[in-house]
DNA sequence: CTCGCAAAAATCGTATGCAATATTTTTCGT
DNA sequence: ACGAAAAATATTGCATACGATTTTTGCGAG
């Protein structure tokens, strides 16, 4: 397990909370799939890995558990979340409720600076799609999520922004788990279209496009139950 | 500070997480206004009060800080949140986005058992409105929130349910801070109407009523900024 | 060879101790 | 008497220690 090394050390803002920094690195590792769902994250291991005591490692894991990226079982430890198809559906149902509204809110607050940031974001996204290999694919999922987070930040509601951070992180996990690899790149075009609409102040259109976009992302998943019933099915055959 | 005593001991499920139990009691105390916004919650004090070490008290406070009910400052401690008018607006903007959708989802899943639970809930709510005194008013705010939480649980999306728990808790705080005392009891009628619509499977009407309901709650608040500018205004006069 | 059981190891939950930082009180000079 | 510097006090951040619980390992019986 080499998490701390792979991510950029980034000259930690020293007096910033250490637990928070560890949480951020672990979160990146989880949504990037460097840590597979189900992986055990023992307090001791995390602690030695980041060179802190179990106390602060534990705090970081507790934060991730609140975000739903980690599941903790009493006296057993913390594990990278392994969202069920039902959970996956709920994540996207939540996004369908929230994100069209965020798009509308963002439309009313777009500044040229915001537009420029979006353009840069979309460029980077396009670059990752052009590349090949599983590493680029990880980056692509991440960049795609960042588009939605950027939009949430423009909307200017910090509560919704935090909700979106959680939903995007969980979505990345879900996509990594249930995504059919090939198709998702069409999302880039949709992002472009959404930006276009919002840039022109067409909030309603941006909102509608966003709703379709979320539908498309979910449609690209294979959410048939597998582990429990599928196993039984396979054996009873 | 006598929080632990005022709430019912409730034969703590012993092997249940203690930090979580403390969090629940503190949360109740905060939304009930037994702990005023800005009150300092020192780890040591909470610890001795609930007869646990600072470690677990700290964990409880960390949870509350995630929910936005407590604000923690490094090396200074934890304080009951004192939401600004802007924060209050964001809470209600979030609810406007989420709750109409929850109403629609709930409409499709209402069983007779659910309806019965709602009827009981509304009865209790009505009883608190009939009573007088500040204590009844606290209970009224709480019961009003419970209606929305019950609806969220019927909707069957655990993620949205958790979001709603946070939003309702923060709303209680906001109402206690900025509420104009007299008027809020009309919310009870609106709850009744919403239930009626959903009971009849009229999801759209229930959703629309919910949106108005939230608007009404927010309209009953006095969200003019006071502390900063108001002070200056008072002195420059 | 497999199964079950007991001992050992690993891991968690929690308390406590120490250093660092904030807050309050005291003291001293003007 | 007032204000500022300094000491005393309190509180947080973090590490470590120890009992409790779970998991693994080792070994003997069937």
Tell me the fold of B85-219: 1.20.120
How far is B5 from A200, CA to CA, in rounded Å? 59
Would the CB atoms of A97 and B94 count as touching at under 8 Å? no
Q: What's residue B186's pLDDT?
A: 72
ipTM value for the complex: 0.90
**Between B77 and B227, the higher pLDDT residue:** B77
Judged by C1' against the alpha carbon of A74, the nearest nucleotide is C12
3-state secondary structure of A37: coil
B76 CB closer than 7 A to any strand C atom = yes
Residue B214 has pLDDT above 50, yes or no: yes
Please report residues contacting nucleic strand D, using a CB cutoff of 7 A. Answer: A 17-19, 52-56, 75-76; B 40, 42-45, 54-55, 58, 72, 74-78
Residue B216 has pLDDT above 90, yes or no: yes
Q: Cα-atom radius of gyration of chain A, to the nearest Å?
A: 19
Would the CB atoms of A15 and B74 count as touching at under 8 Å? yes
Comparing CB atoms, the residue among A62, A87, A102 nearest residue B62 is: A62
Dihedral (CA of B179, B182, B188, B191) sign: negative
Q: How far is CA B164 from CA A23, A32, B72, B97, B159, in A?
A: 24, 29, 22, 11, 9
Q: What's residue B10's pLDDT?
A: 38
Would the CB atoms of A90 and B159 count as touching at under 8 Å? yes
Would the CB atoms of B90 and A159 count as touching at under 8 Å? yes
- pLDDT less than 70: residues of chain A: 1-16, 181-185, 226-237
How far is A81 from A174, CA to CA, in rounded Å? 10
Residue B166 has pLDDT above 70, yes or no: yes
Q: What's residue B141's pLDDT?
A: 85
- Tens digit of each residue's pLDDT (9 = 90 or more) over B177-208: 998 865 566 789 999 999 999 999 999 999 99
Task: Please tell me if the domain spanning B10-80 has the same topology as the one spanning B85-219.
Answer: no
The B-side interface with A (CB below 8 A) comprises 15, 17, 55, 59, 62-63, 66, 68, 74, 87, 90-91, 93-94, 96-98, 101-102, 105, 157-160, 163, 167, 170
Judged by C1' against the alpha carbon of A73, the nearest nucleotide is C12
- Tens digit of each residue's pLDDT (9 = 90 or more) over B62-107: 999 999 999 999 999 999 999 999 999 999 999 999 999 999 999 9
Q: What's residue A16's pLDDT?
A: 63
Q: At a CB cut-off of 8 Å and minimum separation 6, what does B35 contact? A: B1, B3, B26, B29, B41, B80
CA-based nearest residue in chain A for residue B158: A90
Judged by C1' against the alpha carbon of A56, the nearest nucleotide is D14
- Tens digit of each residue's pLDDT (9 = 90 or more) over A130-189: 888 878 888 888 899 999 999 999 999 999 999 999 999 999 999 989 988 655 667 899
Residue B6 has pLDDT above 70, yes or no: no
Judged by C1' against the alpha carbon of B58, the nearest nucleotide is D12
Q: How far is CA A176 from the centre of its chain?
A: 10
Residues B24-36: what's their mean pLDDT?
Answer: 94
Give the architecture-level CATH label for domain A10-80: Orthogonal Bundle (1.10)
- Strand B40-41 and strand B70-73: the pairing is unpaired
For residue A71, the 8-state DSSP code is: E
The A-side interface with B (CB below 8 A) comprises 15, 17, 55, 59, 62-63, 66, 68, 74, 87, 90-91, 93-94, 96-98, 101-102, 105, 157-160, 163, 167, 170
Q: What's residue B5's pLDDT?
A: 40
Q: What's residue A4's pLDDT?
A: 44
Spanning CA of A55 to C1' of D14, the rounded length in angstroms is 7
Mean predicted lDDT score pLDDT of chain B:
88
Strand order across the A40-41 sheet: A40-41, A77-80, A70-73
Q: What's residue A237's pLDDT?
A: 31
What are the domain boundaries of chain A?
10-80, 85-219
Q: What's residue B139's pLDDT?
A: 86
% chain B with pLDDT above 90: 73
Please tell me the least confidently modeled range out of A92-96, A103-107, B8-12, B157-161. B8-12
Instruction: Give B-chain residues touching A63 at CB under 8 angstroms.
Output: 62, 66
A71 CB closer than 7 A to any strand C atom = no
Instruction: Give A-chain residues touching B87 at CB under 8 angstroms.
Output: 158-159
**Between A12 and B151, the higher pLDDT residue:** B151
Closest-CA distance of chain B to residue A229, Å: 22
**Between B13 and A135, the higher pLDDT residue:** A135
- Strand B40-41 and strand B77-80: the pairing is antiparallel
Comparing CB atoms, the residue among A15, A97, A170 nearest residue B98 is: A97
Torsion of CA A152, A154, A160, A163, to 10 degrees: 30
* Backbone angles phi and psi of B132, in degrees to 5: -125, 175
Q: What's residue B62's pLDDT?
A: 97
């Amino acid at each position: 397990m080499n998490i701390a090394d792979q991510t950029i050390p980034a000259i930690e803002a020293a007096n910033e909370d250490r637990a928070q920094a560890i949480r951020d690195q672990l979160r990146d590792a989880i949504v990037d799939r460097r840590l597979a769902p189900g992986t055990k994250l023992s307090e001791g291991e995390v602690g030695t890995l980041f060179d802190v005591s179990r106390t602060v490692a534990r705090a970081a894991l507790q934060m991730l558990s609140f975000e739903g990226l980690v599941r903790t079982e009493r006296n057993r430890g913390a594990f990278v979340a392994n969202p069920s198809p039902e959970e996956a559906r709920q994540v996207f149902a939540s996004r369908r409720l929230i994100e069209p509204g965020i798009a509308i809110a963002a439309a009313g607050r777009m500044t040229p600076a915001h537009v420029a940031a979006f353009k840069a974001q979309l460029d980077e996204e396009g670059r990752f799609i052009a590349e090949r290999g599983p590493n680029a694919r990880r980056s692509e999922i991440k960049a795609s999520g960042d588009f939605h987070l950027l939009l949430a930040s423009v909307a200017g509601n910090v509560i919704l922004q935090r909700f979106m951070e959680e939903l995007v992180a969980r979505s990345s996990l879900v996509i990594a788990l249930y995504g059919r690899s090939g198709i998702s790149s069409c999302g880039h075009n949709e992002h472009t279209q959404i930006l276009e609409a919002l840039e022109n102040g067409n909030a309603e259109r941006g909102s509608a496009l966003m709703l379709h976009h979320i539908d498309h992302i979910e449609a690209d998943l294979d959410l048939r139950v597998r582990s429990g019933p599928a196993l039984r099915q396979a054996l009873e055959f």
